[in-house]
Structure 1
Amino acid sequence: MKLWVSALLMAWFGVLSCVQAEFFTSIGHMTDLIYAEKELVQSLKEYILVEEAKLSKIKSWANKMEALTSKSAADAEGYLAHPVNAYKLVKRLNTDWPALEDLVLQDSAAGFIANLSVQRQFFPTDEDEIGAAKALMRLQDTYRLDPGTISRGELPGTKYQAMLSVDDCFGMGRSAYNEGDYYHTVLWMEQVLKQLDAGEEATTTKSQVLDYLSYAVFQLGDLHRALELTRRLLSLDPSHERAGGNLRYFEQLLEEEREKTLSNQTEAELATPEGIYERPVDYLPERDIYESLCRGEGVKLTPRRQKRLFCRYHHGNRAPQLLIAPFKEEDEWDSPHIVRYYDVMSDEEIERIKEIAKPKLARATVRDPKTGVLTVASYRVSKSSWLEEDDDPVVARVNRRMQHITGLTVKTAELLQVANYGVGGQYEPHFDFSRRPFDSGLKTEGNRLATFLNYMSDVEAGGATVFPDLGAAIWPKKGTAVFWYNLLRSGEGDYRTRHAACPVLVGCKWGECLKG
C-alpha cells in the first residue's frame, strides 16, 4: 500500500547557483532574482559615481580650456609673445591633452560589466518570460480578470502596489502572439492602445500595436476589423510594407466573401461581429467547472450535506502520542470522506523543511499518458525536490506524525517530495492513484492509498484544492492538513477524488509529498 502525502508551504527563497532556469515555475527560486537585481543596482550606482567623478574632471578641464582659448585666440601673437604662454601651450598639447585622452578612455565600466556577465548566466530566459506571461493569462482566465485590472495591479490580498506599463502590456501581447494565442494577443494589444490613448509615455508605438492587433483579429476570423485596423496602421505609417500587402489581401478576401451567394443568407448574416471573440476551447473537459470552483463558485455544499459534517478530537488508532495530545479533526466532505486536521506542523518545522528543500528544487514532471515517460507539462507549474529522513531529523519526525494520524505505515515509503509552485502555479485536475499498466511500482509496492495535504501558510488569493466531480473546494489554512482515501475498499481507484491545485493568484505555495 502507498501513502501519498502533500503539503503546501509558502516562501520566497532560492539559490541561484542551483537553479536550472525555468524561474517562472518556482516562486522560491525567483526570490534570489530580487537579491541579484539589488546587487546589480548597487554595482550600477558605483559605476555611475565613478563616471560622474570622471565627467566632473572633464567638465572642469573643458571650462578651464574654454576660458584660456577664448583669451589666447583673441590675440594669438600677443599671447605667444610671452615665453611662459608659449611653453604652456606646447606642454598642454604634448602632455595635458593626452592625459585627458587617457582619462576619457578609462574603462570604468569594466567592474560593472564583469559583475553583470557573472550574474547573466543565472538570469531568466525567453522561456521564463513567456512562461510568466502565460501564467498571468492563466490567472486572467481562471479568475475572470480583464487586462485593465491586471495592468492596474488591482488584485485581492496584494501587499505591494504593482502596475504594468504600456511596454509591459505590449510584451504580454507579443508573448501570446509568438505562442499562436491570438485570443490573448487581442486582449492585451487593446489594453496597450487604451493606455497609449490615455497619454502614457512608452517606447511602444501605435503602429507596432496595430501591426500585431490587425493580424490577430484576422486569425480570429474578424476580417472586417482586420481591414479597419490595417487602414489605421497605414494612416500612421504609409510606408509600412507588410501592412500594405495585408490591406490588399484583406480587401481581396472581403470582395470574395461579398460575391458568395449562399441560400437564405445576407451579407449582414455572413459578417463576423466585430470585437467579439470567444476564448478557445482547450483539452480539459471540466475546464469551466474547475475554474468556477477556483473562484469559489459552484460549490455543492448543500445544507443537507453540511448537517452531516462534524468536528471531533482524533486519536488515530489510539497511538500513545495522540492519546495525550489528540488532533482536532473537522469533516470537509461526506462522500468521499475528506477531513481536515489542525496544528499538524509547527512554524519551526515548516521553515526547516523549506530550508533543506530549496537548493534541490527542479522542474516537476508528470507521466506521459501514452508513453509512461516522465516529462514536464503546462498543466503542472512547479518545482520539486526529494528529501530523505537522513537529511534532517524534522523529516523523520513529520513522517512519524503523519503515520500516527492516518494509521498507515510509512516504512516502505519513497522519499519525501517537496514542491514549490511558481507564478500562477497550479496542478490541473488529476488522480493521485495510478491508472496506467506501465506503472511498474503497482505490482511491487501497490497503488497510492491516500492523500495527506498539509497547508503550511495562508494563501492571500487563489490556491484552493478543488474536486470538479464533487463540486468541492477546500481553502488553505495555515497549520492544517487535509486527508482522504484515493482507493475504494475493493482496491480500485475512487474516481471521485480527481482534484486540482488552483492557480495561485497572490502569494506562493510549497508542497511536500510522501509515497509509501
Structure 2
Amino acid sequence: GAMRKLLSVVVWTLLCCSLSIQEDIFTSIGQMTDLIHTEKELVQSLKEYILAEEAKLAAVKSWANKLDSLTRVSSSDPEGFLAHPVNAYKLMKRLHTEWSQLESLVLQDPSEGFISNISTHRPFFPDQEDEKGAAKALMRLQDTYQLDSESFSRGKLPGLHSNVLLTVDDCFDMGKTAYNDGDYYHSVLWMQQALRQLDMGEDSVASKATVLDYLSYSVYQMGDLPRAIELTLRLIGTYARPKDHLPEREVYEALCRGEGVQMTEKRRSGLFCRYHDGNRNPRLLLRPMMEEDEWDSPRIVRYLNALSHDEIETIKQLAKPNLARATVRDPKTGVLTTANYRVSKSSTMVFDYAWLEGEDDPVVARVNQRIEDITGLTVKTAELLQVANYGVGGQYEPHFDFSRKDEPDAFKRLGTGNRVATFLNYMSDVEAGGATVFPDFGAAIRPKKGTAVFWYNLFSSGEGDYRTRHAACPVLVGNKWVSNKWIHERGQEFRRPCGLTPGN
C-alpha cells in the first residue's frame, strides 16, 4: 500500500525531472496522459486503415475472379466467343470502361487518412532525448532502490507485481542508451538481461551477436578482461557461414593460418634442393638456379634466385601506372567478372594487376627468357607477364589456373590451348599472411622476395590436374607483389611430349 504509492510518486518525479530539465514537452503527468489518448486515437485510425485496405483487396480479388472466369472461356475459342455479338460488345465495354474502373480502384490509397492523422500528432511525439531521459530515470531508480534488471524486466517491483514486461529489444535499447553515454556499468546490467531473455528463447529484432558485441566491449571497459574474452569467444561462435559457403573454404582458411598443412617429416625427407641448369642451358651454366622441392605430389618447386632486387623494382615501376581492377572467376558460374572494389579501398577485393610485354623493357624480356630457360617450355605462346599487387586484406580465393571441360572456350580467343603450367614470382616479403595454399592436398607456400614457384596445371596427357586448385591468402600485415607467367600448351609438343594415360 504505502510503499507502492511512494514508489509511484518517486517514479513520476524522476521521470518528470529528467524530462523537464531538458525543457521538453513532457513535464507533467497530465501531458503524458494526453499522449495515451493520442496513442489510442492512432490505434483506431490504424484499424480503420486496415479495414479499408482489406475492403480494397476484396474488391480487387472479386474483379480478378470474375475476369479470370471470362478469359478462360474467351481464350479457349476466341473466334467462337466473338461470334456472339453480345460477347463482342461486352469485351469492348470491359476494356474501355471496366478495366479503367479497376485501375482507379487499384490506385486508391486507403493509407491517406492514417498518414494524415499521424502527421498531425507527430510534432507532439517524444524525441530521442525524451526516450533517453526516461531510460536514465529507470536507471536512477535501479540504483537508488537497488533493483536488479531482472526485476524491472519482469515487472516485479517492491509492493507491485504487474504484467508490464520489458522485451529483449527494450532491454537492449536501455543498455545501448547507457553505452552511448559511456555508462558501461548500466550497459552491462541491461545487455546481460537482454542476453538472458534471448537465451530463454524470446524473439527479438536485436540479434544475439549484436547483444554480445555490446556486452563484451562494456565488460572490457569495466576492466573484467577474462569475462570479456569469454563473451567475445561466444560472439565469434554466433557467426554463421554465408549460404554460398563452400566446405573447402574452411580448409583454405585453416591453411592460411598455418593449420592443417599435410607435410610430414617422412614426406619432407624425400624433398631435396639442387642446382638447376635447365638441361645445360648456356644461359644457366655459369649461374645455375637454386631449386628446392616444395611439394612432392603434385610436384611444386621453388627457385631461390629467380629475380634480383633491381629487376623487381623495375617491374613494379613499370606496372604501377597500369594497375587495374582484377577480374575473378565466379566460383559457381565459372564466368570471369570484374571484382567490385579495389584493394586499396576494401578488404573484400582480390588484387590490382597489370600486364607487361617483353617490348616494354629489357628487364621484362630478360625475365621471360629466364622463365623459358628454367622450365624448358616456350613462352612464345604464354600470356603476358601479369604483375599483381595485394594490399592488406587482398586475396584470390580458391581457383584453377587451367580451364575445365565445362568451360572449353575460356582461352579460345588466344588460340594457344590451355594453361599447361604456372610460374609465380614473389616480388616482396609479407610480414603476415599472403601465403599460396593448395586446399586439396594441404600445402602452404610462404612468399619470399626474389624467389619463384613452378608447377604443372595439366598432366602430360592434357588432362587437368584438379589437385592444383589454389588460393592467395589475405594479406594480414604488409604489401604483397607477385608476377605470374601462365604457359600454354601450343609450342610444347616437343618440349613436353604428350603422355598416353590421363595421370601422366
TM-score (norm 1): 0.48
Which of 1 and 2 has greater Rg? 2
More RCO (CA 8 Å, sep 6+): 1
TM-score (norm 2): 0.49
